[in-house]
Amino acid sequence: MSRTRAILHVTPAGLAVWYARRGLILTGPGFPPTPAGEADFCAWLREAAHLPLRLLADGGDENFDIETLPRMAGKDRKAFIQRRQAQLAQGSPFSACLALPPAADESQGSRVLFLSLTRTDLLEPWLDCLRHADAKLQDLVSPALVAPALLPKPLRRSRHVLLCLRTAEGLQLSLLQSGKAVFARRGSIPREGSWVENAVNEVRRSRQYFLGQRLIRRDETLPLALCCGRDDFELMRVQLTGEPLALHWIDAVGTDVPPLLRAAADARPPAQLAPHAARRRYTQRQHLRRLAWGAGLLAAGLLLCAGGLLLARRERIADIQTLQRASALRTQELARLRAELPALPGSLAEVEGRLDEFARLRAQAALSPHALLQAGSVFAENPGLRLTQIEWTAVDAVSDAASSTRAPGASGRGLHLVLKGDVRAVAAREGTDPLIGLPEAMRLRGAARTTLRRTPPPSPEAIAGFALEADFPGDTR
């Protein structure tokens, strides 16, 4: 799509073509307001049929009317605005309306600016050429609609700004409110000599008119933006000293392109003045073009989405197949390892039980023989006692009494002894009962707790049997 736009500058002197592309503005052909010039313009339109056009009507009179509409909405508001616009345009087909911000002292209704162009005979010959050539007329604007583009951004946000611009047709003065033109008028300037004095008079006259129309407050300092050379700006500053104006300079000498043309190339006008019939064909083509672009983008988006979903599905299937192959390989490896393992001697439960018993036996075998030596010394001192059976079991806890008698550094794992035996007859003949002092002898040798039970004699040569239980703490060596 081409980015070049043709700006048709219509003045009483004829029509001049300017080409605007990416901030660069170049001059084009010019056509005088004669039948020959109109024929040449039609021929140029046939050659430039691909270019979008913007028509700048510079030379006609502009009417501005600000009205406060009653509160209404929907179709009623639209019909009321159309009727009022037709009344204020006085039959001119070049009209538009703009919504304005509410005034500070108005709390009801909304403010609407109605603007229109008069002296339409200046535009009709050129519009006839555009209609016959079926040209791409984007919009038709006036100097007041594009002039705000000349202001720097800080001034565009000001409540009121008076823009003074020198054009080939005279002096253009526009009152801007929040960046929108609410009034514009033309002033005459001499063709020869200095124009500063005329500009100063027009500025003062315009300010008095704004005060009379209550467009500005009497105590308000009005910003004045002057688009001119530096020398002319300094002369106007001197002559306007003491006026309630804040002057700002806009350089208009740094380029060969007129400032109004620069504004027409850069601005996005808030409204256009072309009648509907003049823009209908271009608008229809533009809508069809946008519809075609939208349909193409939608189709491309759907294709991309479908391609993305298909690609994701293929990747997911490939990942699943890779995982299945890896799982099959691990299953085969596990089967191979199980086949190479030796067979167990029994079931797994039996093997675990034997391993637990083996661990218990090893723990008992690892105990210190100190308790056994102490118990054996007791029986060595009593020859009337015969020891026939010894059973021992490792224990994890002992009584507090045994803990208190345990030497520092002793092991906390004790030993439970069960000593079985009998009393021989020789001990009875000596007139003593060796079983009476047996528990005490065990306690003297470190037993924490002793229990003595008398049992029947296990043999004819024995007088009685016994079973002695003794708990020894950990190793006290």
pLDDT at 201 over 90: no
pLDDT in tens, 59-95: 767 777 777 777 777 788 788 877 887 777 776 777 7
Q: What is the reported pLDDT for 398? A: 47
Rounded to an integer, what distance in angstroms lies between the CA atom of residue 19 and that of residue 11?
17
- Of the CA atoms within 13 Å of residue 31, those in its CB half-sphere come to 22
pLDDT at 234 over 50: yes
Q: Which of 178-192, 309-323, 402-416, 417-431 has the highest mean pLDDT?
A: 309-323
Instruction: Compute the 3-state secondary structure of the chain and give helix, strand, coil in percent, each to the nearest 5.
Output: 40, 30, 30
Rounded to an integer, what distance in angstroms lies between the CA atom of residue 63 and that of residue 185?
9
Query: Looking at per-residue confidence, does 104 or 266 come out higher?
Result: 266
In CATH, what number does 151-273 get? 3.30.420.40
Q: What is the reported pLDDT for 327? A: 92
With H, G, I as helix, E, B as strand and everything else as coil, classify residue 64.
strand
With H, G, I as helix, E, B as strand and everything else as coil, classify residue 194.
coil
* Contact indicator for 261, 7 with CB cutoff of 8 Å: yes
Those residues with Cβ within 8 angstroms of residue 43's Cβ, 6 or more apart along the chain or in another chain: none
Residue with tokens 């009801």: 108
Query: Looking at per-residue confidence, does 6 or 354 come out higher?
Result: 6
Rounded to an integer, what distance in angstroms lies between the CA atom of residue 69 and that of residue 77?
9
φ/ψ region of 363 (left if φ > 0, alpha if ψ in -120 to 50, else beta) reads alpha
What 8-state DSSP symbol labels residue 52? Answer: E
In CATH, what number does 369-472 get? 3.30.70
Rounded to an integer, what distance in angstroms lies between the CA atom of residue 216 and that of residue 159?
10
* Contact indicator for 230, 249 with CB cutoff of 8 Å: yes
Those residues with Cβ within 8 angstroms of residue 217's Cβ, 6 or more apart along the chain or in another chain: none
Rounded to an integer, what distance in angstroms lies between the CA atom of residue 181 and that of residue 97?
11
Instruction: For residue 405, name the pLDDT band (cuts at 50, 70, 90).
Output: very low
Instruction: For residue 283, name the pLDDT band (cuts at 50, 70, 90).
Output: low
Q: What number of residues does the chain have?
A: 477
Rounded to an integer, what distance in angstroms lies between the CA atom of residue 356 and that of residue 334?
28
Query: Looking at per-residue confidence, does 289 or 306 come out higher?
Result: 306
pLDDT in tens, 124-142: 888 888 888 877 788 888 8
In the chain, the amino acid numbered 77 is: R
- Mean pLDDT to the nearest integer, 286-315: 86
pLDDT in tens, 157-179: 788 888 888 776 678 888 887 77
Instruction: For residue 281, name the pLDDT band (cuts at 50, 70, 90).
Output: low
- Among the residue ranges 206-210, 285-289, 390-394, the one predicted with the least confidence is 285-289
pLDDT in tens, 258-268: 888 888 777 67
Residue 188's H or E segment, with its range, is: none
Query: Looking at per-residue confidence, does 283 or 185 come out higher?
Result: 185
- Within 10 angstroms of residue 147's Cβ, the number of other Cβ atoms is 26
Rounded to an integer, what distance in angstroms lies between the CA atom of residue 329 and that of residue 464?
74
With H, G, I as helix, E, B as strand and everything else as coil, classify residue 268.
coil
Query: Looking at per-residue confidence, does 283 or 380 come out higher?
Result: 380
pTM (two decimals): 0.54
> Environment class of residue 174 by beta-carbon count within 10 Å: exposed (0-12), middle (13-18) or buried (19+)?
buried
Instruction: For residue 2, name the pLDDT band (cuts at 50, 70, 90).
Output: low
Instruction: For residue 320, name the pLDDT band (cuts at 50, 70, 90).
Output: very high
* Contact indicator for 377, 427 with CB cutoff of 8 Å: no
With H, G, I as helix, E, B as strand and everything else as coil, classify residue 13.
coil
Give how far Cα 431 sits from Cα of 145, 188, 379, 452, Å: 143, 160, 18, 20
Query: Looking at per-residue confidence, does 345 or 132 come out higher?
Result: 132
Percent with pLDDT over 90 in the chain: 6
- Cα angle: 74, vertex 214, 242; to 5 degrees: 140
Rounded to an integer, what distance in angstroms lies between the CA atom of residue 104 and that of residue 217?
11
Average pLDDT, the chain: 78
In the chain, the amino acid numbered 169 is: E
Rounded to an integer, what distance in angstroms lies between the CA atom of residue 348 and that of residue 350?
5
What are the boundaries of each domain within the chain? Answer: 62-116, 151-273, 369-472
pLDDT in tens, 217-227: 888 888 888 88
- Mean pLDDT to the nearest integer, 460-473: 86
With H, G, I as helix, E, B as strand and everything else as coil, classify residue 306.
helix
The H-assigned helical ranges of 52-142 are 75-89, 124-133
